[in-house]
Amino acid sequence: MHTMSINPDELKQINWFHRIDLGNGIVTPGFDDTPTKLRQIQLPENLMGKTVLDVGAWDGFFSFEAERRGASRVVALDGGVWKVDSIGKAGFEFARKVLGSRVEDVEMEVNDLSVERLGQFDLVLFLGVLYHLPDPVGTFLKVAALAKQDIIIETHVDMIEHKVPTIAFYPFDECANDPTNWCGPNQAAVEGMLRLAGFRKIKASPLTPAPYPVLGRRNHQYGRMVFHASR
């Protein structure tokens, strides 16, 4: 990747989610703590020659990072915020231009994903999306079908005190006061979904606390987890 000169006015007008290092000391002012998330997800250092699909890419931080780590082809997909007028796709397009990146973009709702439409990828990144799904199991199986070998999931989890597969349902804005958060699977539920989708090797990270409230829950019963799975 090479960097080109940056128009500071254009950068300021964008409603950034990710903190992306654009070079020359400029980092996009995202409200997400992207550096911490990058450490937590443990993205492989070397992705040389791999194909990567980043589902729910938003400003594209993880797509650009996969490309920087050597991926031969990266597809950034989003069907949510890219279609919202007040957010849009400007951050992704701006960063892609400045970084001189060849990351491809696909505007698609996860429910419309299929191998016929997109093919398969060596690695699928499914970061911060699972709990946005009203039908988490059915939709996850569609996403998982696109992973030829590996998948990394980062997600909100809930009902951690239960050891059998359990999914909390948030019909309104119970989770983080956000009506787009629909569910909170526990560790056993995410692992069950992964097994159902044919993944054999599954590694779960320890629970990390979440910086938001969930109605009726105590803090140690929910949080965030990362899952690495391979076929």
CB of 113 to ligand SAM, least distance (A): 9
The encoded tokens of residue 158 equal: 């809930």
Q: How far is the CB of 106 from ligand SAM (least distance, A)?
A: 10
Compute φ and ψ for 116, nearest 5 degrees: -60, -40
What is the closest distance, in whole angstroms, from the C-beta atom of residue 18 to ligand SAM in the complex? 6
Verify binding: residue 33, ligand SAM, rule CB under 6 A.
no
In the set 16, 58, 94, 170, which binds ligand SAM (CB under 6 A)? 58
Candidate list 75, 76, 81, 183; residue touching ligand SAM; CB under 6 A: 81
Classify residue 211 as exposed, middle or buried by CB count within 10 Å of its CB (0-12, 13-18, 19+): exposed
Residue nearest to ligand SAM (CB): 80
Q: 18-46 burial, b for 16+ CB within 10 Å, e for fewer?
A: bbbbbeeeeebebeeebeebbebbebeee
Total chain residues near ligand SAM (CB under 6 A):
16
Q: What is the CA radius of gyration of the chain?
A: 17
Question: Which residues of this protein are in contact with ligand SAM, per CB under 6 A?
Answer: 32, 37, 56-58, 78-81, 109-110, 127-129, 132, 154
